[in-house]
Amino acid sequence: MKKCALITGASGGIGSAAALRLAADGYSIAACWHSDEEGISALAKKLDGISAEYRLYKVDVSDYEKIKEVFADAAENFGGVSVLVNNAGMAQQKLFTDITQQEFDLITAVNFKGVFNCCQCAVPFMVNRKEGKIINISSMWGVYGASCETVYSATKAAVIGLTKSLARELAPSNVQVNCIAPGAINTKMNNSLSAEDKAAFAAEIPMGRFGTPEEIAGVVSFLASKDSDYVTAQVITADGGLT
């Protein structure tokens, strides 16, 4: 029987690439998305093209009751979630003094509470099975902090803290929890940058370019595999040598 991988933010660049890579690795895919209909439609076509087994879920990760329903449906159709990829997130570039209470609440709800919600729903099944992989997508800014992205950076740092703590709590149950901290990746999240800004940023990266979603998906694939069974509580920074 195939194992199931649940990916949040599956309509985006990294989420879509991770879903396709894990499907190619033999997983059934539970692909969660929220608002990008074009992106999730494109992913579905690609999954169909490789004859993958999958289900799509339109859900707000910050809504705990709705997330519980998604995990229940995945359990009914796929037997339970063996790999969780917490990728859903949103960014904001704004002066700290200009951030509103509503913006703070929204970013923290998606970027941190969403990870907490999904982990809480995934853990009982994994602990019961004495195996499982939780892969949280943070950011290099969660490690180092970014000017004018204070709330985003703080939520991504919180994801790292959750990863390290939960990994140690679940280690006796043979559940591995790790984190990927991508650097500059060619995704829609970076579309707000001008061509000039992208070129200037790329020039600061030792590898001289932005990364691709597929390269991050490769790290996801490793962390989801048995090859990572002794790897837990780690933050893998994939940033082309920038930091």
For tokens 């002794």, name the residue: 230
Q: Is 27 a catalytic residue?
A: no
Contact 64/117 with Cβ under 8 angstroms?
yes
Contact 8/86 with Cβ under 8 angstroms?
yes
H or E element that contains 228: none
Contact 240/206 with Cβ under 8 angstroms?
yes
Helix, strand, or coil here: 15?
helix
For tokens 């069974």, name the residue: 229
Residue closest to 190 by CA, chosen among 44, 59, 89: 89
CA distance 187 to 113: 23
User: What single DSSP character describes residue 70?
Assistant: H
What is each CA distance from 188 to 3, 19, 60, 72, 122, in whole angstroms? 30, 17, 19, 30, 28
Residue count of the chain: 243
Please spell the DSSP secondary structure of 37-48, one letter per residue: HHHHHHHHHHHH
Catalytically active residues, by annotation: 152
